[in-house]
Structure formats: C-alpha cells, structure tokens
Structure 1
Amino acid sequence: MPAPGHVPRRRWWRRALVSRYGARGRDLARAVDAEYSVLVAARPPWGEENRALRFHVRQAILPDLAAYRVLSREHGDAAVARAEVRDLMTAQLLPVLRVVGVLDRVGVPFARMRRLTRWLVPRAFPPAGFTIGWSQDDAHGLRFDVTTCFYLRVLRHYGAPELTGVFCYGDQVVYEQMPRSVRFSRSGTLATGAGRCDFLLQPTGPAGRETMTP
C-alpha cells in the first residue's frame, strides 16, 4: 500500500510516463505524486461516506486528475492532456480486460453475465454516490440508467468536470470487451450533456446475430 498522500501505483505511473516522455517522465511522475497529495488534502467529506466511494476517489479519480493537471501544465493544452490521460487510464484497465477475456474464453452465457452485472453494479456504484434506475431485466436485455454520477460530482468539486468523459470512455472499453454472448450499447452520458448515462446489455444469437429487445 502506498503511504498516505502518495499516488497509488507510483511505480506504474513512473514507468508509464518514462515510456512516453523519456527522462522527462521521471520529473512528471514526481509531479503527479505531489499533485495527488494536494488533491487528497482537498477531498470532499461526502466522498468519504463508504469504502466504495473512497476507492473511487483515491484509486481512480484523483490519480487521473493529478496526471491531468500535471500534463495540462506540461503541454499548455487541456485537450492534449485529456487525450494522454485517456490513454493512460485505458492502459490501467488491462488487468480488468484480462478478467473479461477469461469470461469470454470459458463461454459465460448472457444470463449469467446479466445476473453478475445486476449484483455487482449496486455494490461497486452505491446509492450514496450514484442514482441508478433499472428499467429492464429479462432474457432480452438488462437496461439501467445513471442519473446522478459521483465521478461528475467529484470532478466538479475540483473544477475539472471536463475530465469525466475519460472515465465514461473507460466504461465503454470494458463493456465492449465483454463475452461474445453480450452486446453493449449506450446513447449518451451525463458528461456529454445527456440527461442520463444509459446502459443496455443484450444477448447475441448464434453466429453473432443479435437478439434485440422488442
């Protein structure tokens, strides 16, 4: 475990930044670590309500926000920094994608993925931070909408709501790598101005034919 105030996965950040920026990456990694300490000190009290929310703040949101601030200063361009952070965040998802790949190789059916998702989502994204409504849960599909997003609230607290879309992209990366028995689709997100983040998982038929919701 990192010392209090140090960015999680410090060695990973150092390797990743050195890989991208050469020797300059070491200075950037130290700057990310220092920026993370500043962000932790300013964390909102409502982000400490339970273990799941603390995990989101300290392990997901603040490390990437620290990198975003540092790289924005480095490039003098927030859009370039967001693109860099999106790439770095995607690289951090590789362990999750390997697990998803195992589910595909063992042929997990849609019905089981549906039950797993329905069990996991409320626990990983608890009501204290996320408002989630379930509108479909049957053999044709699993549909749910997020109308209050903890990530967007935290990033607004830090004055960086524009970074929320990076995490929305991470959702897409994970869901699109789900077993071939599942098709994921989404039409909009709160981060892009939509009234909700809509998630729809549907089964796929033989030879990739999709079984669509009536």
Structure 2
Amino acid sequence: MPQSKNDNPFRKTILPNLRQALITAFSNKTGNVIYHESVRLYQEELAGMNDRNSKVIHNHLSNNILPAYAAYKILLQAGIEQSKALEFIRQEVFKSMVSPAAKMRRLGTLPFIYGLFKTLMKPVVGYGYPKEGWDIEWKEYSKTRLAFNMKSCLYCEELKKRGVPELCPIFCETDELTYNPLAPRVVFERGGTLAKGCAVCDFSYKKGHK
C-alpha cells in the first residue's frame, strides 16, 4: 500500500524514499521495522535539536543531518554491518543529488557561468553556511579563481557529537556531485576535508574553458 505524504516524516528531507529503499534492501518486514524506528529516533532528535537560533541551521539539521543519522543509527542497531549501513546511506543521499547535479550541468553550458558564479558565490555561501555553524575564511576572489577554507563545520560537529563521524564524508562527497558537472567552464577542486582529518575543507573553483 503506498505511503501517504502525511505518513512520511522524511518526505522533505535528503532521504525522501527511505521506507521503500529499506524494504528493497532488507525485505518488507525488516525494512518496515527499521523505518519506523528511524522515524521514532528522527522525531526525538528534532524535538531536542539545537538550531542555534538560525533558520538555515534548522534546515541543515532537520533535512540532512538528523535524517541520515537516525536511519544510520537504527541500521546499526538492527545488526547491519557498518560498511553496509554506510553504503546504504551513501546511495540514498546520492540519489537526492541527481536533480541538483542536473541543474549544475545545464548551468555549466553557459559561456558566462564563471562570472555568474563569482557574483553569487559570496552571498550564497554567507547565507547557506552562517557563522553559527561554520568558520569560513576566503582565500581568493578573482577573475580566475574563487577559493575559501572551512575551518569548522556544523556537519562534522553534530555527527561527531552523536558518535557517528563516519557519516560526515558522505556529505562532503555531495559537494563533488554538485559542482563537478560545471566543468569544463568551472573546475571544482579540493585537497581535503575536516571529515577526513585535514585542518580545513578547502574549496576551489577555477575558471575553466569552453
């Protein structure tokens, strides 16, 4: 029986089809048990979350961090091997990036995309990653390259606090899924991430070629 929108607390999150994915991966019975427990934990986390008085951080937590955490934690509690649980979450998160990646691919065909990207980047980063959750240092803002370092990250902090830092690299990988389609006109490069033990997450967007 199809699940109604009102029955799916995950429908507006990064895991909108979690129930069906769990059933497909682990059988109807096991999938439903894991799903309902994930809903329970997700709602508990929502009730107690600290959004630092920021609507944007509220959205990062409720739409991305907490859904992934809840599903992953329950997968582990259900006896699913960590590697399999991580891969399940990775694949479901990546599915949610298909549409944003397609939009970036279309933008990447525009001959003036770097100029547009340069105009929008600072306000978009400033709004989407506020100081309450991220410490960002701009390194370059030129006609040929945009670069900044994230010296702290809400995702790393919140997932580490919950004892699952291994989830954070999945979210780092979504940056590549999002920005790589802009090539060759805009080339996204990164040397390392906080999630993998580096001092900073370094973001670099170089003006490419047609």
TM class, shorter-length: 0.7 to 0.9
Q: Which residue of 1 aligns with 2:115?
A: 111
SS at structure 2 position matched to 1:135: strand
Is contact 1:13–1:29 with CA below 8 Å preserved after alignment? yes
The 1:17/1:178 distance shift into structure 2, 3 A limit, reads farther
Of 156, 170, 176, 1:172 maps to 176
Q: Which residue of 2 aligns with 1:70?
A: 74
1:12 and 2:17 are equivalent in the alignment? yes
TM-score normalised according to structure 1 size: 0.85
One-letter code of the match for 2:149? D
CA distance in 2, matches of 1:172, 1:12: 22
SS at structure 2 position matched to 1:147: strand
The 1:80/1:108 distance shift into structure 2, 3 A limit, reads farther
Of 108, 133, 137, 1:133 maps to 137
Is contact 2:34–2:74 with CA below 8 Å preserved after alignment? yes
One-letter code of the match for 2:72? Y
CA distance in 1, matches of 2:36, 2:200: 37
After superposition, give the CA deviation of every residue in 1:152-175 in whole Å (9 maximum; x if it has no partner): 111122122221111111112112
Q: Which residue of 2 aligns with 1:25?
A: 31
Deviation at residue 108 of structure 1 after TM alignment: 4.6
CA distance in 2, matches of 1:57, 1:11: 15
1:191 and 2:195 are equivalent in the alignment? yes
Q: Which residue of 2 aligns with 1:163?
A: 167
Percent sequence identity over aligned pairs: 23
Of 121, 125, 139, 2:125 maps to 121
Gaps of 5+ in 2: none
RMSD: 2.2
Q: Which residue of 2 aligns with 1:210?
A: none
CA distance in 2, matches of 1:11, 1:113: 29
CA distance in 2, matches of 1:204, 1:194: 27
CA distance in 2, matches of 1:88, 1:146: 25
The 1:29/1:83 distance shift into structure 2, 3 A limit, reads same
SS at structure 2 position matched to 1:139: coil
Is contact 2:10–2:16 with CA below 8 Å preserved after alignment? no
| Equivalent residue runs for 1:46-65 within 5 Å | 47-65=51-69
